[in-house]
Amino acid sequence: MIDIIKQIQEANPALGTTIIVLRPDSRALADPATLTPEAKAWLDANTSDARLSQETVMLAPYPGGAPTQRTVTVLAFSDARHLAAFATAWTGDPTLDDDEAA
């Protein structure tokens, strides 16, 4: 993952250094280029300057494999605290409400 972040930062320095690469199955994404309405609302309420971007990187499918181009979805933040809050809220497994857990 560190290699991916480094490639993205070198390819698009305008994103800054505080970025997260979202998995294709992230529950924050409606599709690779769009946040879900819930994730967008969360960002608007907690950090309105976050930017969604799609970037191309070279990734090997397995260690020692030949790298190929792949497009990844990136969310850039101006503050590491905002990235941490987003990651806490949107990249873990959703928690069940007390009623659902029973």
* Distance (Å, whole) CA 4 – CA 26: 17
Write the pLDDT tens digit of every residue in 84-100. Answer: 999 999 987 665 554 55
48 closest CA partner among 92, 8, 78, 73: 78
- Bridge partners (DSSP) of residue 56 are 71
The CB density around residue 8, as the number of other CB atoms within 10 Å, is 20
Write the pLDDT tens digit of every residue in 7-44. Answer: 999 999 999 999 999 999 999 999 999 999 999 999 99
Is the pTM higher than 0.85?
no
- Check if the beta carbon of residue 19 is closer than 8 Å to that of residue 29: no
